[in-house]
Amino acid sequence: MFNILFSFIATASERVYVASNQHTNLFMNLDRLIAHEHAGFIWLIIAVLFLFFEIGTPGLFFFVAFALGSVCAGVAAFLGFALLVQCMVALISSLLIFFLFKTWLFVENHAAERTNVDALVGSHGIVTVCIEPRKPGRVKIRSEQWPAHVQDGTSLQTGTHVEVVKVRGNRVIVQGLKK
């Protein structure tokens, strides 16, 4: 039983060793293929390509992180590091820059000013056409007429002061104000 277990472990560790050597050999072959004096320029060209991708996808700032990671890898190449190290620098710096951008650039402003129809929520108005439970009426809000429904299904008579609860399409949902 122990012989089977030990032979299985030895075979598995031998496969892992061979696989890791194959990956190392791949990077060594690529390292020999690319002349060291040109590797930094290749990384800078890759950075420019990522910037062109970023121009094609405005507002995301996704490819900028990879462009800056490629610049970091280019610096590593100009300093004479091996291709494997350059790739690791590109990957790690790209991920680090991406998460820094995500935390510092994309901070949501929850107290942002509401615009368009979203700014109507919380506004007060006056009923100009009677609002029935199944029949919309009209409400005057900030000198504009809006089709309106009542939130709780009651009737509101002309002249009743209301507050906008939400906007659904081009209609406002209102509730009567207590006097």
Rounded CA-CA distance 147/128 in Å is 10
Read off the pLDDT of each residue in 100-115 and give the average, rounded to a whole number.
69
pLDDT in tens, 111-135: 566 667 777 888 899 999 999 988 8
Q: Which domains does the chain have, with CATH numbers?
A: 2-104 (no CATH), 116-176 (2.40.50.140)
Average pLDDT, the chain: 79
State the virtual CA torsion across 164, 166, 171, 175 in degrees, nearest 10.
-40
Q: How much is the pTM?
A: 0.47
